[in-house]
Amino acid sequence: MGATVTGATVEVVEEGPFRFRIPRRGSMRVPGVVFASRALLPEAAGDQALQQVVNVATLPGIVEASYAMPDVHWGYGFPIGGVAATDVADGGVVSPGGVGFDISCGVRLLAAPCERDALLPRLGQLMDALDRRVPRGPGRGGVWQIGRTELEKVLVGGARHAVERGHGVARDLARCEDGGALPGADPGQVGVRAVERGLGQVGSLGSGNHFLEVQAVDTVHDRAAASAMGVRERQVCVMIHCGSRGLGHQICTDHVRTMDRAAARYGIEVPDRQLACVPAGSGEGRAYLGAMAAAANYARANRQLLSEAARDAFEETAGYGLDLVYDISHNLAKIETHHVAGRAVRLCVHRKGATRALPPGHPDLPDGLAAVGQPVLIPGTMGTASYLLAGVEGGGAWHSTCHGAGRVRSRHSAAREVDGRALRAELEARGVAVRGASWRGLAEEAPRAYKDIDAVVRASEGAGLCRRVARLVPLGVVKG
DNA sequence: ATGTGC
């Protein structure tokens, strides 16, 4: 190929369809690889995402490449849509910026035993029931009021603990990444401020692009996979997109500060302070990974409790419940074993705004999904489509794919250009019921502030990172 | 994303 696309300062070489390479230069230890169409390459004025791909390539212990998914955009230190793996035994680092402030932000999809047309007469009533039951917006209390002892159990047990307390059924856990609890959580590494912030927010959506949507399956792309996952055409589903709230945010803040001070002792220099990192096996590295796992479990319990709220609303208004399809994070660092140059190596895989996508046959897949691969959940922008995807054989970037549309316009700019009331009226006119938390919040999340989700998913599939299983469209949105 | 900002 060899066509060169000139970015602001970063040289990007087109290698093939949906694949660009940033050649290794200067202190880069590995090249950058960007999976995207030309149209999806970050080019918005001031977007430093490709420079961030370059910066990540300088991290100690990074192997193979600094990867970017098709929804890549500017983030804190690492780009959102970035994937980087470091060799733990070779001084490979862990960096909180490679996970993000919303630790274990993720998505779960639940399926209702009902078709779209049968629900429509009761949609308004259902949305009102959800409106009453789903805490959302900045701050604001969660559905579960707990004390410190119970919070510690949440940090260790995640969704598993929530189910043990009666908030869900055992089958839910089989459909959660890691069975609902990431091992290795260390509540002792979660600071007092993080605990304070986390106490009152278990079971709450938060704000920004987080949502709970009632959706309907619009297109089935892969009938066999959809069937194995428990999804069919016209089916009503619920998608929940949220994370670890103030607790995860505070953990990130605290550990970035610690690492920023400690890095010099390990002889680490980074091109951007936001890339603060230490060896994953060091004291500070293990402390962060323990706190990060605790936040991940908090996020999983959070989604489990919001599922219960949604189930209660469905039982109340429609007389039936919801089955969990899957729950998966898109902001996490995990210690995983991969083959590098024919050798099994323990890697610290950072996925920030990127989703794990295990291929068919992977041993970590639950019963019934081994033949089709891991479900991948891609939340759309308010009022637009969302996707159910599956992992594929040979997927690059350590079995990872995209996570969503990717913002192209700042919150501020969106709020200036869009009127929240008019946007709600527009969505309602298109048949999408809206229950928001604030007018400004709605305006900031207007579809025009994001990339085209259909294009992002097409590029992800085209790049061989995943395949499409089903496309879902919103019937009603509960917005933080 | 976030008790939204050094």
Stretch (H or E) spanning A14: strand A11-16
Long-range contacts from A12-17, C-beta under 8 angstroms, 24+ separation: A12/A41, A12/A50, A14/A38, A17/A462, A17/A463
Mean of the per-residue pLDDT values of chain A: 95
How many domains are contained in chain A?
A: 1
Q: Which nucleotide lies closest to A407 by the C1' atom and the CA atom?
A: B1
Instruction: Please determine, for residue A2, whether its predicted confidence score (pLDDT) is greater than 60.
Output: no
> Tokens in use for A28?
């880069």
State the average pLDDT over residues A343-349.
97
Distance between CA A76 and CA A74 in Å, rounded?
A: 7
- Domain residues for the domain of A321 are 2-479
User: Kind of pairing, strands A400-401 and A331-340?
Assistant: unpaired
Q: How far is the CA of A64 from the C1' of B2 (A)?
A: 33
Mean pLDDT of A124-151: 95
Looking at A221, A255, A403, A412, which residue is catalytic? A403
State CA A30 to chain mean position distance: 25
CA→C1' distance for A203 and B4 (Å)? 21
Q: Round to whole Å and give the CA distance between A128 and A122.
A: 10
A403 catalytically annotated: yes
Going by C-alpha positions, the residue among A274, A355, A291 that lies closest to residue A79 is A274
Protein CA A10 to sugar C1' B6 (Å): 31
Q: pLDDT tens-digit profile of A33-58?
A: 999 999 999 876 678 999 999 999 99
User: Position A299: which residue type?
Assistant: A
Residues in reach of strand B, judged by a CB distance below 7 angstroms, are A 76, 101-102, 105, 138-139, 193, 196-197, 201, 206-210, 242-243, 245-246, 249-250, 407, 411, 445, 480
Of the candidate ranges A45-49, A241-245, A312-316, the one whose mean pLDDT is the lowest? A45-49
Nucleotides on chain B that have an atom closer than 7 A to a protein CB are: 1-4
For chain A, percent of residues with pLDDT exceeding 70: 98
**Nearest nt (C1') to A100 (CA)?**
B1
Nearest protein residue to the C1' atom of B4, measured from CA: A138
In Å, what is the separation between the CA of A246 and the C1' of B3? 8
Tell me what pLDDT residue A8 has. 53
Q: What is d(CA A31, CA A41) in angstroms, rounded to the nearest whole number? A: 17
Residue A440 has φ and ψ, to the nearest 5°, of -65, -40
Which stretch of A7-16, A169-178, A288-297 has the lowest confidence by average pLDDT? A7-16
Give helix then strand counts, H and E, for chain A.
Answer: 14, 20
Q: What is the pLDDT of residue A288?
A: 98
Amino acid at position A402, single letter: C
Nucleotide nearest to A441 (CA to C1'): B4
Measured from Cα to the C1' atom, the residue closest to B1 is: A102
Q: Which nucleotide is nearest to A480 (CA to C1')?
A: B1
pLDDT score at A9: 78
By the 8 A CB rule, do A420 and A439 touch?
yes
Tens-place pLDDT, residues A389-443: 999 999 889 999 999 988 888 889 899 999 999 999 999 999 999 999 999 999 9
The C1' atom of B3 and the CA atom of A140 lie apart, in whole Å, by 10
CATH number for position A206: 3.90.1860.10
> Would you state the pLDDT for residue A44?
67
Q: Tell me the pLDDT band of A469, cut-offs 50, 70 and 90.
A: very high
The residue-averaged pLDDT of A167-185 equals 98
Confidence class of residue A4 from pLDDT cuts 50, 70 and 90?
Answer: very low
| Residue A196: nearest nucleotide (C-alpha to C1') | B3
Confidence check: pLDDT of A249 > 90: yes
Q: Is A9 helix (H, G, I), strand (E, B) or coil?
A: coil
How much is the average pLDDT of A312-334? Answer: 98
Task: Measure, in angstroms, how far nucleotide B3 C1' is from residue A343 CA.
Answer: 47
**pTM over cut 0.85:** yes
Going A441 to A155 to A130 to A169, the CA torsion angle's sign is positive
Nearest protein residue by Cα to C1' of nucleotide B3: A139
